[in-house]
Structure 1
Amino acid sequence: MDLYEYQAKELFGRHGIPVPAGRTAATPAEAREIAAGLGAPVVIKAQVKTGGRGKAGGIRPAAGPVAAEAEADRVIGMDIKGHIARRVLVEAATVPFEEYYAAFLVDRAEGGFLAMVSSQGGMEIEELAATDPDALVKLPIDPVTGVDADTAKLLAAKAGLPEQAAPVLEKLWRVLVAEDALLVEVNPLICTTDQRIVALDGKVTLDDNAAFRHGWDDYGERTDSLEDRARAKGLNYVKLDGTVGVIGNGAGLVMSTLDVVAGAGAGPANFLDIGGGASAQVMADGLEIILADPDVRSVLVNVFGGITACDAVANGIVTALELLGERGHRRPIVVRLDGNNAEVGRRILSDARHPAVRQVATMDGAAEMAARLAAGA
């Protein structure tokens, strides 16, 4: 789970890492009020989970409350690489004397942790690594010993950071460990004119598998998106940009189905894996989510029964269509059932005689029919 900048900085503050004073605003009027309370020039920063905010105009200085309101009005609602800025961080402007880069992350390739530190901050790390790889210090971190004061001093010295940066590096490591993070990154980490080390930005990725230890539901933005609604139902759903809704049991089968749909000349509208032991209720929940997507023109249900019994899938389809009522008649649903209890499942669908449901015996045939129906053929 990626955090917004303001959420990352809240974590930093809890671990004693200096950050600029600031609060988030959802309206220009709130931005003006926050700027007035800070009593200093501020920066208006779009809160989106992507990079390139500055180049897109999502980070704007404001000399005072009136300017803060005007700049927030420009930024709120801005589309930055497909991410809509629904709120801004209003933060006291901090002038850097020097800018650095610091990150700790899980190194999956080596099965451990990695520190990356540079005296050249403020630019994208990929660009830095390509143009001046020697400027980026990389140090594997022993999971047992971690980053103590001596290791932090070594990192700072090797990267050319001032000595006072070492305690901040040590605390950034503590954020990674204590918060079960996969990535903790500050770009830029700055030294001010009065020699203070401050995290001017923050990027944190948390390990979803550790959510039960932290109660991370508070980090979710309540946008009522299809992804949010699917997550609330425990579904593995990703929205795509096509017109054929796809449901399958097992990530491998769903990925294959996406390929087959594309091969039939249509674009899949989503990835939805109902899992290996899905119940009728899970099937009904999945179908409800997909039919709530206005981009979907047809639905392909592709299930190979193993742990998941095809009769449970068929009952789920029938149940979902009963609950949806008229909404369930608006788009055709192509169903391919094979494997465990497939004959029973097909009979359940045939007996239901729902006008939206078409049954096809093969995956290729089902994909071709779903593609034709999505195209209006």
Structure 2
Amino acid sequence: MKLHEYQAKQVFADAGIPTPPSTLADNVDDAVAAAEEIGYPVAIKAQVQVGGRGKAGGIKLVDDADEAREAADAILGMDLKGIHVDRVLVEGAVDFVNELYVGVTMDRGEGKPVAMVSTRGGVNIEEVAEEDPDAIVREHIDPSFGMHPYQARRAVYEAGVERDVANDVASVLQTLYTLWDDRDGADAEINPLMVTSDREVVAADAVMNIDEDALFRQPELAEMEEDAAGGDDLEAKADEYGFDYVRLDGNVGIIGNGAGLVMTTLDLVDHYGGKPANFLDIGGGAKAERVTNALDMVFSDENVDSVVFNIFGGITRGDEVARGINEALEGFDEIPKPVVVRLAGTNWEEGMEILNEDLVTVEKTLEDAVQRAVANAEEVDQ
């Protein structure tokens, strides 16, 4: 379960992590009133769960009531990477001199939690990891003992955080780990953790994702679950259909059965120059209705320009999948997105014979299917 920024900030603030004063608003008048109460300058921030909100126009810094009204009017109701914005967080602006990154997640390769610190906050941390991995200091933690204070201090000092704020940053990092552990977190991060001109540290952003299988232990967070999905109809639809689904920023829709198979498909889309639009795992034993629901989801994403369907039959039968694809597509007067299908495994030959090639393109190998889907998306963009 992904918390919205305003929800994560409330959790962080309750644990003692400094956050700016803020108010949630769902209309322009309330946003302006909140800005007046907080005091200018303020930031008006779209509350949607996508990256790059600032670049997409979803975050604006304003200095007076007229600017606040204009910004709130522009952001509320906008479509931000396919998600309708129905709420904004009005937040006191931070007079900062430096931006840091702190985060906690599970390092599955090491089988341990890992805390991370970088002085290159305020930008996409995945890009930093790819371009300059040494800019991120990692500290692995034994979950039996938790994060020792010396570990937090060591990570902060090795990252090069300035000494006069290092202890405060270490305290925030240790609190973040405690929250991650106590609240059954999947990921928790602050990007940026701002250092102010008064040499204080403030969480200017907040991310916290919770293990959904552990929500029964987190009644307070479970109450946030319905609201946490607000604004993203596709996330709500995925919950309704019972799919494992993650929305991404690309335009090649991906459907597969099994997390590993879907991840492989995502990697190949990236390898061949495309950008994945989603992770969608329909699971094992998928019948025709489930396949129809999967196509309905991907077609509903306006960012998707083409679709690749990758099925390897074990429990799932290729002929059942083929019938589901046919049933879904035959209901359209015109196919909304070009679909490429690759079937393998149980009954794949029967499935290939059943597929209506007037509606889909069929490829025998995954590599060919992905390359065709990427080319289809490129043609739409031109």
Short-chain TM bin: 0.5 to 0.7
Query: SS state of the match for residue 328, structure 1?
Result: coil
CA–CA distance in 2 between the matches of 1:339 and 1:166? 52
Deviation at residue 60 of structure 1 after TM alignment: 0.6
> Does 1:309 pair with 2:317?
yes
Conservation of the 8 A alpha-carbon contact between 1:50 and 1:83: no
Q: Which has the larger radius of gyration?
A: 1
CA–CA distance in 2 between the matches of 1:100 and 1:252? 33
Q: Which residue of 2 aligns with 1:177?
A: 181
Query: SS state of the match for residue 44, structure 1?
Result: strand
Q: Which residue of 2 aligns with 1:61?
A: 62
**In structure 2, which of residues 277, 282, 298 is the aligned counterpart of residue 274 of structure 1?**
282
CA–CA distance in 1 between the matches of 2:73 and 2:122? 27
Conservation of the 8 A alpha-carbon contact between 1:329 and 1:356: no
Distance 1:291 1:87, change over 3 A: closer
Conservation of the 8 A alpha-carbon contact between 2:168 and 2:201: yes
Question: RMSD value over aligned CA atoms?
Answer: 5.3
Distance 1:315 1:46, change over 3 A: same
Conservation of the 8 A alpha-carbon contact between 2:76 and 2:87: yes
Structure 1 unaligned spans of 5+: none
Letter in 2 for 1:9: K
Query: SS state of the match for residue 69, structure 2?
Result: helix
CA–CA distance in 1 between the matches of 2:236 and 2:3? 15
Q: Which residue of 2 aligns with 1:30?
A: 30
CA–CA distance in 1 between the matches of 2:110 and 2:30? 46
Conservation of the 8 A alpha-carbon contact between 2:189 and 2:206: yes
> Does 1:7 pair with 2:16?
no
CA deviations on 1:148-170 (whole Å, 9 max, x unpaired) are 56665676777522656665443
CA–CA distance in 1 between the matches of 2:13 and 2:30? 22
> Does 1:330 pair with 2:334?
yes
Distance 1:142 1:334, change over 3 A: closer
Distance 1:92 1:300, change over 3 A: closer
TM-score by length of 2: 0.66
Structure 2 unaligned spans of 5+: none
CA–CA distance in 1 between the matches of 2:272 and 2:130? 41
What is the 5 A alignment of 1:293-308?
Answer: 303-308=311-316
CA deviations on 1:287-344 (whole Å, 9 max, x unpaired) are 33345567889877564432112343355456x45xx8x7334338777766434576
> Does 1:204 pair with 2:208?
yes
Distance 1:212 1:277, change over 3 A: farther
Report the identity percentage: 36
Query: SS state of the match for residue 331, structure 2?
Result: helix
CA–CA distance in 2 between the matches of 1:306 and 1:156? 48
Distance 1:76 1:358, change over 3 A: closer
**In structure 1, which of residues 173, 188, 191 is the aligned counterpart of residue 193 of structure 2?**
188
Deviation at residue 90 of structure 1 after TM alignment: 1.0
Q: Which residue of 2 aligns with 1:224?
A: 233
CA–CA distance in 2 between the matches of 1:269 and 1:96? 34
Query: SS state of the match for residue 221, structure 1?
Result: coil
CA–CA distance in 1 between the matches of 2:12 and 2:147? 16
Query: SS state of the match for residue 31, structure 1?
Result: helix
CA–CA distance in 2 between the matches of 1:97 and 1:265? 37
Query: SS state of the match for residue 316, structure 2?
Result: coil
Letter in 2 for 1:35: A
Distance 1:51 1:276, change over 3 A: same
What is the 5 A alignment of 1:65-214?
Answer: 65-76=65-76, 87-95=87-95, 101-117=101-117, 124=123, 138-147=138-147, 159=161, 160=163, 161=165, 167-179=171-183, 180-190=185-195, 193=198, 198-207=202-211, 210-211=214-215, 213-214=217-218
Deviation at residue 85 of structure 1 after TM alignment: 6.0
CA deviations on 1:147-200 (whole Å, 9 max, x unpaired) are 35666567677752265666544322222212214232252244674x765433
Conservation of the 8 A alpha-carbon contact between 1:302 and 1:363: no
CA deviations on 1:218-272 (whole Å, 9 max, x unpaired) are 32233324x5423431234557525xx7654445666777899999999998765
Conservation of the 8 A alpha-carbon contact between 2:2 and 2:229: no
Deviation at residue 33 of structure 1 after TM alignment: 1.9
